[in-house]
């Protein structure tokens, strides 16, 4: 044991030495490579005691040290793990230093050693030594000491580069690793360093195991991977011995690489292996810590054919004549629960030599602009000669597979079956698996509602029969975070909080899970443009991908609902929420609604991998706003178009809004508690799904339920003044049963009873993937609408050294891109307009100045309204730029500086007064978190604009509102329910109405400053 007094003395002396060294030692050699010694394996000829190991000299901790026995010679050597070109060594001596020593390198642990530095006049302190040498091992060899003690180093730091390479280092593989963002598990993790952090492509996040052996991390590729290279990017805590293994089943493993000389750093390994799983299995650690990987990457190819149906045709409607021969198996309406590859068979047709098999598999490439149910679109998946077919892929869980067979012009009957083969969750939630099902009520046996092999209606009926009146009523309410029996949870919540609430719901008497839904209406984590901006892009295939992206992000953490999309057609300029709608073309609105609903569901119906869409606001608030919907018997047809489309896409949740309807319920209440307005949905549109009200005060809940609403949106059972007993007493039991039946049905369809959870540990690392950001960027680009481009000011033609000014309140506004709880994500690198123009300008050598500059070549002026939701930022009746924003434009104009206006336009503005003052106008809408980069790319001509206005822009405010008027029907000069009528004559309005009445697309008319659909294609 060291003598305590000496130790204190030495520590004090060393601190003094370090302080002096800091002022006296010259700056390190400029060309030093990175630090390559820290955390590596160090060994020494001796140690003074157990508290001064060799490793203490390479641990990066200035308060721990290696110290040798008090004798000569002594050495300490570091295994760098691979051959390095060493260019600098830094020695931080404790008071007991070396007077004479050498630095030596070697390719092998035992030498021979080559001297790269030598001295006989060492004075201790901190020595920064420029050296040249190559080797895997580096040694300090001391022959004379400065004191009577031994040799003692606080730190032994070696700098260099991987000059020599190693025989196992292949060239870097190109492209994205096939492991990126895949499912991953590990033997353990610590400190929040989840396994998925090693697959997220970010070298700032890492997986770290517990401090024990062995430990493993295993990637599930979801299909067979052929792996030719593995890259292990180790944190300081690396494996000195480990193996890489593949497996087809996650149980039996084949070693494809092993080493007992792991070197840490970045190990790039040429391997050859196949399997669905790849794992790193560590058996020895280089440090006292665990195993820690910044990144674990596999390269090669991935075969997804085992999970992907062959698409041998486009999405196809069945022939007009069917039923000409019989299908044999599966039985009609069968539940397939034992295989994902059920044998399909049919009766032979005389003379037939081949048969074509058609199934309504889920696709991403439907024609979303076409009417008709998506679930009735079939794909040819095989042509066979016999009378049976076994799918070549694992069929995903779906409730309504439909199929038929054709031979020549002869077509079988159409039958249906479902496939449900759930993976039961294994979260420690107190719910055990009994007889292959979750024992939700924890009574040791499986009741019908717990048995996923039972038909959904059987499960619904069984569960309903077990519920008390109070339990039923809670299913119609929100606030599950406080009331675990509530059926619904208002999101978005943090992943851990949501998980905790889900655990609480599993602990209720019957274990009924809730659905979490929030106002993340244009993206859960990755935020895409609002729907009105998407209506400028009109790329419905892209809309599907955006919905699908949102679905994937939500499933990661178990958020299974969303309070969107909107099926509204924006025909009233002064409706603040026109920004959330789809523009004024009902057919565009319909296509977008179909695409977003299908994307959120991941197919043409609600299934166990879906997010539940909430289509709103019934019965079409675009025709008047949240106060009153004014359409009549003709124009209602126009506003119903996107709601019908939502149903065709399989939507099963619709939200009535606050507005009443002067047509459907004259003088009556808002839609949520109006029986006639809800009856119109059920009876005239044939809607069978769930009705969730908008957020109503508690005094309206009984009335809403009695009127036919099934779920009280946002409703808190603990609201002051409310009692559940009064709700139960006030709403007929049959009405409650009707509502709860729909709620439960949807939860069974979502597969929540088998797996209510997401992955709060790993899921967040799979948010905001680069491919997701790219989709948001594409959508924003395609929305950007170039209204004018006088003198071809765009794209900017600038020389290196030119100055551009970026001005206006929206240039640095991080929230103007977005509304509700879809956000700008600075933490993921989202850029404001100024940020983005600055970084794009830097590429061109252009100076980008915020605010103003003496003689800029051009001014980019970012104006419009900041973020808002229910109420506009400006006075609602003033949909035009305020004086300060206008002055910015005119100020630059007056100085002869070309002005490009970037217009954040969430609703139609009157821009007539300054239209001529702008050389170019780019409408950005609320373009999502990539709005800044998308704008910058447009300005510099990286792509050509294609966006088209989703609304007419009024020429005069008086085309919207009587002068001095307010936002009431009596003061309106446009028809709130008609599209394309700004500045229109009575005759033009008559034409619009007759077109709508006849089911024709109305033709844009009137006298707007910019017509619906305006926008330059190209510059
Ligand atoms: Ca990482
Ligand atoms: Ca049970």
How confident is the model over 319-355, as pLDDT tens digits?
999 999 999 999 999 999 999 999 999 999 999 999 9
- Express each pLDDT in 551-607 by its tens digit: 999 999 999 999 999 999 999 999 999 999 999 999 999 999 999 999 999 999 999
Mean pLDDT (whole number) for 703-713: 98
In whole angstroms, give the CA distance from residue 410 to residue 981: 51
Task: Report which bound ligand comes closest to the CA of 179.
Answer: 1
Task: Report pLDDT digits (tens) over 380-434.
Answer: 999 999 999 999 999 999 999 999 999 999 999 999 999 999 999 999 999 999 9
Banded pLDDT at 15 (limits 50, 70, 90): very low
Predicted confidence band of residue 113 (pLDDT cuts 50, 70, 90): confident
Q: Average pLDDT, stretch 629-635?
A: 98
Q: What is the mean pLDDT of residues 514-520?
A: 98
Distance from residue 206's CA to the centre of ligand 1 (Å):
5
Ligand nearest the Cα atom of residue 198: 1
Distance of CA 325 to the CA centre of its chain: 46
Residue 283 phi, psi (nearest 5): -120, -15
The answer on pLDDT for 9 being more than 80 is no
Q: What is the largest CA-CA distance in the chain?
A: 108
Q: Please give the distance, rounded to the nearest whole angstrom, from the Cα atom of residue 1005 to the centre of ligand 1.
A: 55
Compare 616 and 14 and report the one with higher pLDDT: 616
Q: Which comes out higher in pLDDT, residue 133 or 458? A: 458
The answer to whether residues 505 and 548 belong to one domain is yes
Using 50, 70 and 90 to split pLDDT, how confident is the model at 160?
A: confident
Q: What CATH number should be reported for the domain holding residue 415? A: 2.60.40.10
* HSE-up of residue 771 (Cα within 13 Å, Cβ side): 14
Q: How many whole angstroms from 297 Cα to the centroid of ligand 1? A: 10
Task: Flag whether pLDDT at 13 surpasses 50.
Answer: no
The residue-averaged pLDDT of 192-196 equals: 97
Task: Look at 372 and 11; give whichever has higher pLDDT.
Answer: 372
Q: Is residue 910 part of a domain?
A: yes
Q: For residue 511, name the pLDDT band (cuts at 50, 70, 90).
A: very high
- pLDDT for residue 131: 86
Res. 109 pLDDT band, cuts 50 70 90: confident
Same structural domain for residues 806 and 741? no
How far away, in angstroms, is 774 Cα from ligand 2 center? 46
Q: Is the pLDDT of residue 164 over 70?
A: no
> 447 CA to middle of ligand 2, Å?
5
Residue 864 and residue 948 in one domain: yes
> In this structure, which ligand is nearest to the CA of 184?
1
Model pLDDT, residue 110: 78
**pLDDT number for residue 161:** 76
Rounded to the nearest angstrom, the distance between the alpha carbon of 37 and the centre of ligand 1 is 22
Instruction: Quickly state the pLDDT bin for 195 (edges 50, 70, 90).
Output: very high
Q: Is there a single domain that holds both residue 920 and residue 953? A: yes
Using an 8 Å Cβ cutoff, are 546 and 528 in contact?
yes
Instruction: Give yes or no: residues 859 and 798 share one domain.
Output: yes
- Could you report the per-residue pLDDT of 76-85, keeping only the tens digit for each? 999 998 878 8
Q: How far is the CA of 439 from the centre of ligand 2 (A)?
A: 4
> How far, in Å, from the CA of 235 to the mean position of ligand 2?
47
Q: Is the pLDDT of residue 17 over 70?
A: no
In a domain, 630, yes or no: yes
Q: Which protein residues have a CB closer than 5 Å to ligand 2 (ion)?
A: 439, 441, 443, 447
Length of the chain: 1019
Are residue 642 and residue 493 in the same domain, yes or no?
yes
**Domain C-terminal end among 403, 419, 435:** 419
Q: State the pLDDT at residue 20.
A: 34
Q: What is the mean pLDDT of residues 532-556?
A: 98
Question: Residue 579 sits in a domain of what CATH number?
Answer: 3.20.20.300
Same domain (yes/no): 538, 598: yes
The residues, ordered by sequence, that sit 6+ positions from 46 with a Cβ below 8 Å of its Cβ are 68, 69, 71, 74, 150
Residue 162 confidence class, pLDDT cut points 50, 70, 90 = low
- Judged against a pLDDT cut of 70, whether residue 495 lies above it is answered with yes
Q: How far is the CA of 436 from the centre of ligand 2 (A)?
A: 12
Q: What is the mean pLDDT of residues 629-643?
A: 98
Confidence label for 901 from pLDDT (cuts 50, 70 and 90): very high
Domain that holds residue 211: 184-302
**pLDDT score, position 18:** 35
**Which ligand is in closest contact with the Cα of 466?**
2
- What pLDDT sits at residue 31? 47
Report how far Cα 927 is from the mean position of its chain's Cα atoms.
16
Q: In this model, does residue 3 exceed pLDDT 70?
A: no
Centre of ligand 2 from the C-alpha of residue 980, in Å:
59
Here the CATH number for the domain that contains residue 297 is: 2.60.120.260
Cα R_g (the chain), whole angstroms: 34
Domain termination residue (choose one: 419, 446, 462): 419
799 and 663 both lie in a single domain: no
| 774 part of a folded domain | no
CA of 546 to the centre of ligand 1 (A): 25
Supply the mean pLDDT for the chain: 94
Q: pTM to 2 decimals? A: 0.85
Looking at the structure of the chain, the number of domains it has is: 5
Point out the domain boundary residue: 162, 197, 216. Answer: 162
Distance 763 CA to ligand 1 centre (A): 13
**For the chain, percent of residues with pLDDT exceeding 70:** 96
Ligand whose nearest atom lies closest to the CA of 463: 2
Same domain, 744 and 660: yes
Ligand 1 center to 935 CA (angstroms) = 30
| 754 CA from centroid of ligand 2 (Å) | 13
CA of 448 relative to ligand 2 center, distance in Å: 9
Report the DSSP beta bridge partners of residue 961.
972
* Ligand index nearest the alpha carbon of residue 196: 1
Residue 1001 lies in a domain: yes
18 within a domain of the structure (yes/no): no
Whether residue 322 lies inside any domain: the answer is: no
Q: How far is the CA of 608 from the centre of ligand 2 (A)?
A: 22
CA dist 23 and 36 (Å) reads 25
Is there a single domain that holds both residue 677 and residue 561?
Answer: yes
Q: Residue 337 C-alpha to ligand 2 middle, in angstroms? A: 20
Is it the case that residue 28 has pLDDT exceeding 50? no
Looking at the CA of 206, which ligand is closest? Answer: 1
Identify the bridge partners of residue 628 per DSSP, sorted by sequence position.
660
pLDDT digits (tens, 9 = 90+) for 872-881: 999 999 999 9
Which of the ligands is closest to the CA of residue 448? Answer: 2
Interval 147-175 mean pLDDT: 78
What's the pLDDT band for 175 if we cut at 50, 70, 90? confident
Q: Please tell me the number of the ligand nearest to residue 181's CA.
A: 1
The per-residue pLDDT for 108 is 79
- Looking at the domain assignment, is residue 434 inside a domain? no
Three-state DSSP class for 964? coil
Ligand positioned closest to the Cα atom of 446: 2
Tell me: do 847 and 717 sit in the same domain.
no
Helices 495-506 and 540-557, axial angle in degrees (round to 10): 60
Contacts (Cβ under 8 Å, ≥6 apart) of 122 = 97, 98, 99, 100, 101, 146
Express each pLDDT in 807-855 by its tens digit: 999 999 999 999 999 999 999 999 999 999 999 999 999 999 999 999 9
Cα 203 to ligand 1 centre (Å): 5
CA of 219 to the centre of ligand 1 (A): 14
Check residue 54 and give its pLDDT. 94
Separation of CA 396 and ligand 2 centre (Å)? 27
pLDDT at position 32 is 62
Specify whether the CB–CB gap between 950 and 782 falls below 8 A.
Answer: no
Which 8-state DSSP code applies to residue 828?
G
Ligand sitting nearest the alpha carbon of 208: 1
Range with the poorest average pLDDT among 8-22, 502-516, 738-752: 8-22
Cα–Cα distance between 574 and 369 in angstroms, integer? Answer: 28
Residue 444 C-alpha to ligand 2 middle, in angstroms? 6
Give distance in angstroms: CA of 194 to centre of ligand 1.
Answer: 9
Helix, strand, coil percent content, the chain, rounded in steps of 5? 25, 25, 50
Do 837 and 927 lie in one domain? The reply is yes
Give pLDDT, residue 307: 94
Contact 610, 1003 (CB under 8 A): no
Lowest mean pLDDT among 150-164, 311-325, 371-385, 531-545: 150-164
Band of pLDDT at residue 26, cut at 50, 70 and 90: very low
Q: Is the pLDDT of residue 650 over 70?
A: yes
Q: What is the pLDDT of residues 280-308, one digit of tens each?
A: 999 999 999 999 999 999 999 999 999 99
* pLDDT at 546 exceeding the cut of 50: yes
User: Stretch 743-753: mean pLDDT, rounded?
Assistant: 98
CA distance 939 to 946: 13
pLDDT in tens, 759-809: 999 999 999 999 999 999 999 999 999 999 999 999 999 999 999 999 999
Instruction: Compute, in angstroms, the gap from residue 670 CA to the centroid of ligand 1.
Output: 50
What is the pLDDT averaged over residues 22-43?
62
Q: pLDDT tier at 35 (50, 70, 90 boundaries)? A: confident
Is 167 within a domain?
A: no
């Amino acid at each position: 044991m060291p003598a305590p007094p000496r130790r204190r003395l030495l520590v004090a002396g060393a601190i003094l030495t370090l302080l002096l060294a800091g002022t006296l030692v010259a700056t390190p050699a400029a060309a030093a490579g990175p630090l390559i010694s820290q955390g590596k394996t160090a060994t020494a000829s001796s140690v003074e005691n157990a508290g001064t190991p060799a490793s203490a000299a390479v641990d990066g901790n200035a308060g721990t040290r290696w110290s040798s026995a008090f004798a000569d010679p002594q050495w300490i050597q570091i295994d760098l793990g691979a051959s390095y070109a060493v260019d600098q060594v830094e020695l931080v001596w404790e008071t007991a230093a070396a007077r004479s020593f050498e630095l030596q390198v070697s390719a092998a642990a035992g030498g021979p050693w080559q001297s790269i530095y030598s001295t006989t006049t060492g004075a201790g302190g901190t020595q920064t030594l420029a050296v040249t040498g190559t080797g895997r091992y580096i040694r300090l060899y001391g022959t004379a000491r400065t004191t009577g003690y031994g040799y003692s180093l606080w730190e032994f730091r070696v700098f260099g580069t991987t000059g020599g390479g190693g025989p196992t280092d292949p060239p870097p593989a190109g492209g994205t690793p096939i492991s990126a963002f895949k499912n991953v598990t590990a033997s353990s993790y610590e400190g929040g360093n989840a396994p998925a952090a090693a697959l997220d492509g970010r070298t700032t996040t890492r997986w770290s195991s517990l401090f024990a052996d062995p430990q493993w991390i295993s990637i599930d590729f979801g299909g067979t991977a052929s792996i030719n290279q593995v890259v292990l990017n180790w944190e300081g805590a690396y494996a000195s011995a480990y193996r890489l293994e593949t497996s087809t089943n996650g149980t039996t493993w084949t070693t494809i690489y092993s080493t007992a000389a792991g070197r840490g750093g970045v190990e790039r390994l040429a391997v050859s292996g196949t399997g669905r799983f790849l794992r790193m299995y560590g058996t020895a650690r280089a440090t006292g810590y665990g195993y820690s990987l910044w990144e674990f990457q596999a390269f090669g190819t991935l075969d997804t054919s085992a999970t992907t149906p062959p698409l041998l045709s486009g999405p196809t409607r069945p022939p007009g004549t069917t039923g000409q021969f019989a299908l044999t198996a599966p039985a009609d309406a069968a539940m397939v629960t034992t295989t994902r590859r059920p044998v399909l068979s049919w009766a032979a047709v005389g003379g037939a030599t081949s048969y074509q098999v058609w199934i309504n598999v889920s696709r991403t490439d439907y024609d979303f602009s076409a009417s008709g149910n998506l679930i009735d679109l079939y794909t040819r998946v095989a042509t066979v000669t016999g009378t049976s077919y076994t799918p070549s892929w694992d069929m995903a869980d779906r409730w309504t597979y439909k199929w038929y067979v054709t031979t020549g012009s002869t077509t079988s009957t159409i039958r249906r079956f479902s496939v449900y083969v759930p993976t039961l969750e294994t979260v420690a939630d107190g719910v055990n698996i009994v007889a292959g099902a979750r024992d939700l009520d924890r009574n040791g046996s499986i009741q019908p509602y717990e048995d996923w092999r039972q038909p959904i209606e059987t499960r619904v009926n069984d569960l309903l029969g077990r519920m008390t009146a109070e339990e039923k009523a809670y299913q119609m309410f929100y606030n599950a975070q406080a009331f675990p029996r509530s059926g619904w949870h208002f999101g978005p919540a943090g992943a851990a909080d949501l998980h905790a609430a889900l655990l609480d719901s599993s602990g209720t008497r019957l274990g009924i899970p809730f659905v979490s839904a929030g106002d993340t209406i244009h993206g859960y984590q990755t935020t895409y443009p609002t729907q009105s901006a998407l209506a400028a892009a009109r790329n419905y295939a892209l809309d599907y991908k955006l919905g699908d992206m949102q679905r994937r992000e939500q499933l990661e953490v178990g958020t299974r609902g969303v309070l969107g999309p909107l099926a509204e057609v924006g025909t009233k300029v002064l409706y603040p929420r026109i920004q959330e709608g789809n523009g004024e073309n009902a057919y565009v609105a319909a296509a977008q609604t179909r695409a977003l609903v299908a994307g959120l569901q991941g197919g043409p119906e609600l299934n166990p991998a879906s997010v539940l869409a909430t289509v709103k606001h019934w019965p079409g608030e675009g025709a008047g706003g949240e106060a009153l919907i004014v359409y009549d018997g003709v124009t209602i047809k126009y506003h119903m178009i996107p709601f019908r489309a939502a149903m065709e896409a399989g939507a099963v949740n619709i939200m009535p809004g606050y507005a009443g309807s002067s047509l459907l319920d004259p003088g009556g209440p808002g839609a949520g508690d109006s029986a006639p307005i809800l009856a119109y949905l059920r009876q005239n549109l044939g809607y069978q799904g769930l009705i969730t009200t908008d957020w109503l005060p508690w005094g309206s809940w009984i009335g809403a339920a009695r009127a036919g609403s099934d779920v009280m949106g946002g409703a808190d059972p603990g609201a002051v003044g409310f009692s559940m007993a009064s709700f139960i007493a006030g709403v007929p039991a049959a009405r409650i049963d009707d509502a709860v039946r729909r709620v439960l049905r949807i939860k069974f369809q979502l597969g929540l009873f088998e797996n209510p959870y997401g992955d709060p540990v790993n899921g967040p690392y799979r948010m905001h993937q680069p491919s997701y950001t790219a989709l948001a960027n594409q959508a924003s680009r395609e929305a950007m609408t170039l209204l004018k481009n006088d003198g071809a000011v765009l794209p900017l033609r600038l020389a290196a050294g030119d100055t551009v000014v970026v001005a206006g309140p929206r240039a640095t506004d991080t929230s103007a891109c977005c509304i509700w709880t879809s956000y700008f994500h600075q933490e993921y690198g989202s850029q404001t307009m100024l940020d983005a123009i600055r970084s794009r300008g830097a590429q061109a050598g252009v100076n980008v100045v915020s605010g103003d500059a003496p003689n800029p070549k051009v001014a980019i002026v970012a104006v419009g309204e900041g973020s808002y939701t229910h109420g506009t930022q400006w006075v609602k009746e003033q949909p035009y730029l305020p004086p300060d924003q206008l002055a910015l434009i005119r100020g630059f104009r007056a100085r002869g500086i070309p002005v490009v206006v970037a217009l954040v336009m969430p609703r139609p503005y009157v821009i007539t007064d300054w239209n001529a003052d702008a050389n170019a106008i780019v409408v950005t809408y609320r373009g999502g978190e990539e709005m800044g980069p998308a704008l910058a790319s447009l300005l510099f001509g990286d792509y050509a604009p294609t966006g088209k206005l989703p609304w007419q822009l009024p020429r005069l405010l008086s085309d919207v509102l009587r002068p001095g008027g307010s936002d009431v029907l009596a003061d309106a000069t446009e028809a709130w329910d008609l599209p394309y009528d700004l500045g229109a004559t009575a005759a033009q309005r008559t034409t619009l109405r007759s077109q709508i009445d006849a089911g024709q697309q109305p033709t844009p008319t009137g006298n707007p400053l910019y017509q619906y659909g305006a926008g330059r294609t190209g510059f």
